[in-house]
Structure 1
């Protein structure tokens, strides 16, 4: 209790002092502030100081991201939405990052070990990187066909996502959150309009695909709206009067507020934005675009690699995997060259499902098969279960072929392995095993659900993450398929190669678009020539890389780093190397930037000797 009280006092005093430190330092050269802080924290160890700081950092950060708060189970934010896009709010965020940089600097990192040292290194890196990124005008591109808070809001409002609809207060919270959404959406429109003036706009194909995401919510009757879902499922515990009042409120919300807001955004896109969209696709075409893309590489991969280095790695990997695919072609006795084999795989009905139900059932069966084999290579597993579910209709046309959604931290919602059933020709049977490994077990579900379940992990790490770690791990997990006794069918092995080839091509295309002037059509033809992917899937992938510069680099580069660390451990530990222990070490501290993961693994190896 004494430590808890001391920590709370330290937290409040340090926060107050640091909040005024800039003014004090200007007037008094910061000495009174420093001495006051030192006096407060002197009774706390460095680890205790850090515990206080990271807890306050995370809780304060949720004001900038109420959506993340809801996903994290922090229900006190369920009535709020993402802050409006404005210079004032950007300045607030910059001040927030700088404040915690200053506070972190008072902690002696030499006294930290274990999780505390990892938290210090992660927060120090993240704060610097976030501040560096604020020089780039990403606020002119706040949404795209792949992502945006507008789609998250629709998911929340459907009653099928993280937003709870169990009590009267829950229903009232969403009404208030909707007010914030409408204000945010208007700020999106204004920011994108300013982007037109600054020549920072989405490419035309991406802008065109945004419009249907808004027109889908322009309905003539409230009952036809996605947002009517919670009304269809009003809890039986509500009184008749409560049900009547909530129903009337939601009818007004949909028809008088949400439909006009969606209509306004759709009109803006059709009349103003789409006609002003650009022909080029890469970030290199923007003013300072080269530096912006280099930042995106660093942010997404956490590695110091140039676009040229990554491009060349991709070309080499594509060539290697094509050679492996030729071996499969010979194994199955296909008479023809590799392009003909690709055409055969694309066009032959035997490789595809006839209905969406058949597709989902097949993945449910593979789930059972894989779940039984995972203990062969792992001595840790998440407590939370996961289910297989089709992507909702409202977002299926532009959603990825498969994805994973984390379970609720309180266990009220399982992890979800989403399969997109919109285009069955984009879901070949030979991807069943490799895709299930990647998205569910032992891929994303193991890594993300375990991270949420780690005792004592600070919330900013429990609910944070790094694309290169998450996607690198999932792709590495695919590489374990043969060790798990999977991929015994040559077509299933081809599926693994096809998935790996997709990630290798990403290295080529992402850098091609954003650093080398490639066109959208050039990217499409490259993917068609080097894979058996359906053209509709290729187009969606190409437009994804255009929309998310740097993100697609994370998969292969993350896998490479984890494999490199495994090889290092095997070499250093020899007969002492235990694959289960290695996997535990990768997963047990949650997602880490790759340089920090490498240092951690090397410290672990030293401790094993």
Structure 2
């Protein structure tokens, strides 16, 4: 999956961008409009939205490599921000609705559909009090700020000015903490609070970030790794400034937040697990389902899809059990795979080395399936210690478009029982190439596309693509080992179980314990991994649904293209069609691919 903060901030504004020499050609059936007035009006409107959005929340620019606001960590929880956000979204929705969509063609029409849907979803989301739940153990600006300050994330520490700007950013973070405390208090008064277990998970994170002397803080990282060209005077001056800022601003902010959560919030946290337990929670969850899946499927429909897919995958797993000659039933096979040390590494560095070897194997075969390859590399790293306890098993953080910062495939090695060897081929396909790394790097290199098209994000598209990438294993020469194929089925089972468990928690009133038991009964996942997964779904309702829903749609479209085009079907062209126009809602992607199929059929007829 994409890192939470990066994923949350990928949807920004759309600016006009001409086709550059050497860039990929426009997609079939997506030529620029022959009636430029409406198209120009749309592009100007989107450019304007981008700038207005940055005026309102300039701190987010760093996540798409705009460094104008490196010193900002702005207040986005106070009443003035919320009012300004509502005004902005309603104004731009009205403006895009005033454009004559019928006069737009090709990519201009795609851009219109995307931008209008974004504004509609933002306006619909104004009805829900997200600001009263400003952080949890899984998505937390407090953790994001620590990653930025570590010197190993998107915040640059290349010049003296970069160092100084982060010092100013720390003041903004301290102010945000005070706002978050007030919103948590308001949520407590209104009964809009987190489940107790999630609050308990937050406490050690906040405590660790606020403890110890400055020199042992994660924020000391940039000081311990000064660029070689810094003078002795600058090093001494910055070290003292960071020591002072960490000791008097950053650490106290974490301590304030930790104390409030421990003493004034935890006693009021709720016992139930799902969003349905909150006032208006059912409507809120339905909105999040639509937002994340980019479909109109209901929680009940998704729950049924999940049950059916779990049954199908169990049957496939049974075939693998029989193929390897395991004597025992499927549950015993699960236990065997969870407990036999042959299937696990002993050290984190061994896990990383295994992925490095796998990377070379996969990269050698990618040209067989892809016409457009990334120019940018990715690196493989262990998840940082301060967030490992609650982080997912793996994640991907996009690199910079100019290649100066590679993409990062993070592997969580805190619990090696959650990193089985038999899952490595599938996980690498998903997080790295041709999954998240491929999708992001190929897209951002398309200079003909606007910034919005290169950075706009939908969970159903991004995670749906990554899950679709897993299914390419046989075409890339993988899954020859039956245990690796089981690993593929196991990961597919995880995404299918998510359809059942996420909707179970938030729409059907399931308890945390029931959700854990369901996943334990249907997989060989470790108990630690199951607990982290279930608590993630509790913290981020609806997000986990998007993986399987998006993958099913992409695979459905490929199957349709293969059926209609027959021998003329070119998988490399199909992948370009999916990847090179930016991230799209599933309905928009469906329309685009069917136009491409029709254009290919027209070539055959001609």
TM-score, normalising length: structure 2:
0.92
Equivalent position to 2:219, from 224, 227, 232 = 227
Equivalent position to 1:484, from 476, 488, 493 = 476
Q: Which has the higher contact order (CA 8 A, sep 6+)?
A: 2
| Aligned counterparts, 1:44-443, within 5 A | 45-443=37-435
Which residue of structure 2 lines up, in the alignment, with residue 592 of structure 1? 584
Higher mean C-alpha displacement, 116-125 vs 347-356: 116-125
1:577 aligns with 2:584: no
Q: Distance in 2 between matches of 1:195 and 1:330?
A: 53
Give the secondary-structure state (helix, strand or coil) at the position aligned to 2:193.
Answer: coil
Which residue of structure 2 lines up, in the alignment, with residue 512 of structure 1? 504
Q: Which runs of 5+ in 2 are unaligned?
A: 1-14, 16-34
Equivalent position to 1:553, from 520, 545, 552 = 545
Q: Distance in 2 between matches of 1:63 and 1:424?
A: 44
Which residue of structure 1 lines up, in the alignment, with residue 521 of structure 2? 529
- Structure 1 pair 160–89 and aligned structure 2 pair: CA distance change class (3 A): same
Give the secondary-structure state (helix, strand or coil) at the position aligned to 2:230.
Answer: coil
Residue pair 1:145, 1:209 contacting (<8 A) in 2 also: yes
Shift of 1:106: 4.1
Aligned-residue RMSD, C-alpha: 1.4
Q: Distance in 2 between matches of 1:67 and 1:427?
A: 35
- Structure 1 pair 460–278 and aligned structure 2 pair: CA distance change class (3 A): same
Give the secondary-structure state (helix, strand or coil) at the position aligned to 1:217.
Answer: helix
Higher mean C-alpha displacement, 470-479 vs 569-578: 569-578
The count of corresponding residues between Structure 1 and Structure 2 is: 568
TM-score, normalising length: structure 1:
0.91
Residue pair 1:54, 1:458 contacting (<8 A) in 2 also: no
Q: Distance in 2 between matches of 1:165 and 1:372?
A: 34
Structure 1 residues 236-283: Cα deviation after superposition (integer angstroms, max 9, x where no partner): 323333222211211111001111111111111111111111000111
Q: Distance in 2 between matches of 1:367 and 1:215?
A: 37
Residue pair 1:311, 1:508 contacting (<8 A) in 2 also: yes
Give the secondary-structure state (helix, strand or coil) at the position aligned to 2:118.
Answer: helix
Q: Which runs of 5+ in 1 are unaligned?
A: 1-10, 12-42
Which residue of structure 2 lines up, in the alignment, with residue 6 of structure 1? none
Residue pair 1:84, 1:183 contacting (<8 A) in 2 also: no
Residue pair 2:193, 2:270 contacting (<8 A) in 1 also: yes
Higher mean C-alpha displacement, 171-180 vs 43-52: 43-52
Which residue of structure 2 lines up, in the alignment, with residue 8 of structure 1? none
Q: Distance in 2 between matches of 1:277 and 1:451?
A: 42
Higher mean C-alpha displacement, 112-121 vs 354-363: 112-121
Shift of 1:44: 6.6
Q: Distance in 1 between matches of 2:588 and 2:286?
A: 20
Q: Distance in 1 between matches of 2:41 and 2:256?
A: 49
Q: Which structure's CA Rg is the greater one?
A: 1
Higher mean C-alpha displacement, 566-575 vs 376-385: 566-575
Shift of 1:58: 1.7
Q: Distance in 2 between matches of 1:58 and 1:527?
A: 42
Shift of 1:67: 4.2
Structure 1 residues 559-594: Cα deviation after superposition (integer angstroms, max 9, x where no partner): 111111112212222232111111110111121000
Give the secondary-structure state (helix, strand or coil) at the position aligned to 2:592.
Answer: helix
Which residue of structure 1 lines up, in the alignment, with residue 6 of structure 2? none
Give the secondary-structure state (helix, strand or coil) at the position aligned to 2:475.
Answer: coil
Structure 1 residues 76-98: Cα deviation after superposition (integer angstroms, max 9, x where no partner): 11111132411211110111112
Structure 1 residues 57-108: Cα deviation after superposition (integer angstroms, max 9, x where no partner): 1232223444431121111111111324112111101111122223323433
1:503 aligns with 2:495: yes
Residue pair 1:443, 1:475 contacting (<8 A) in 2 also: yes
- Structure 1 pair 436–220 and aligned structure 2 pair: CA distance change class (3 A): closer
Q: Distance in 1 between matches of 2:136 and 2:501?
A: 19
Residue pair 2:455, 2:582 contacting (<8 A) in 1 also: no
Shift of 1:114: 2.6
Q: Distance in 2 between matches of 1:182 and 1:382?
A: 39
Q: Distance in 2 between matches of 1:353 and 1:429?
A: 7
Give the secondary-structure state (helix, strand or coil) at the position aligned to 1:201.
Answer: coil
Which residue of structure 2 lines up, in the alignment, with residue 29 of structure 1? none
Which residue of structure 1 lines up, in the alignment, with residue 25 of structure 2? none
